[in-house]
Structure 1
Amino acid sequence: MQVVVGAAVVVDGRLLAAQRAEPADMRGRWELPGGSVEPGESEAAALVRELHEELALPVVVGERLGPDVPVEGRGGAGLLLRFYRCTPVDGAVPRALEHLALRWVGPEELDELDWLASDLALLPHLRAALDASGS
């Protein structure tokens, strides 16, 4: 299975959500930023690379968050999503280079977004992480 990593970027009890621009069937839906782990690349290195490419955001990758989420990818290929908590380096601010929009959300706002189905499984874990970081 191809591993895809997602970043739960949390600052001051708020989570960074990214609105998809592509593909057309996912346009406008919200996700945690990230992407595929390349051959020979660690999951942490993939997250650092992907967040730099998508958001111009340097991050430190922290602990795993939530369960592995198996999903069917394009063309029926099996994907395994893994999520990690990430922290921006030195107060860096993300920019939407590949997304329609970015939004910082608190735990009470998570259900307001139209999340990709693959990210929905993580919402309880995100809510707990945000509640813990906001206290």
Structure 2
Amino acid sequence: MSERIVVVGAALLDGDRLLAARRSAPPELAGRWELPGGKVEPGETPEDALARELHEELGIEAEPLTRVPGEWPLRSPYVLQVWTARLHPGSPQPKPLQDHDELRWLTPAEIWTVNWLDQDILAVREVAAMVGGEGAGAKPRPL
């Protein structure tokens, strides 16, 4: 049995707004939305990996805050863990630098207006419940 590999996702918050990132690669994921992040490298903590990935993908300095309850299976051996995070004071605004072509700050009422990647839906539902508003009880948009 292979050891699991943790992929970290950021529920990057600005007040009650959540940052969503639209994938540009690989082709089978292009056009769908996700919580930005990536794989934890050997010797790295999930929090350090999250800060590194956000810098590489979005050009920002961010602080991981709290782990969102739950862990979601991805393609084996990967699992998704999500942390809330916020921009460091003085950090530039996020820009799509790597693997994304668009970013959106979504209010609770807008959370389900984008076509989330299937594997992110349960995590986004947890985050929506944390920030409250219409997003918490709304259903994901059908494909």
Regarding TM over 0.5, the answer is yes
Which structure 1 segments of 5+ residues have no match? Answer: none
User: 1:124 offset after TM fit, Å?
Assistant: 2.2
Give per-residue Cα distances to partners, 1:4-49, cap 9 Å, x unaligned. Answer: 0000000021000000010001001000000000001000000010
Out of 42, 51, 58, the residue aligned to residue 48 of structure 1 is 51
Give per-residue Cα distances to partners, 1:38-97, cap 9 Å, x unaligned. Answer: 00100000001000000011011111113100121xxxx321100000010005211110
Q: Give the share of equivalent positions with the same residue, in percent.
A: 40
Please list every run of at least 4 consecutive aligned residues from structure 1 whose deviation after the TM superposition is greater than 3 angstroms: none
Alignment coverage as a number of residue pairs: 128
**Are positions 1:129 and 2:130 aligned together?**
yes
Match of residue 141 from structure 2 = none
Structure with bigger helix share is 1
Match of residue 106 from structure 2 = 105
Give per-residue Cα distances to partners, 1:79-134, cap 9 Å, x unaligned. Answer: 110000001000521111021100000111111110001100113211122228xx
Match of residue 67 from structure 1 = 70
Structure 2 length-normalised TM: 0.85
Q: What secondary structure is seen at the aligned counterpart in 2 of 1:122? A: helix
Q: Distance in 2 between matches of 1:62 and 1:115?
A: 23
Q: What secondary structure is seen at the aligned counterpart in 1 of 2:89? A: helix
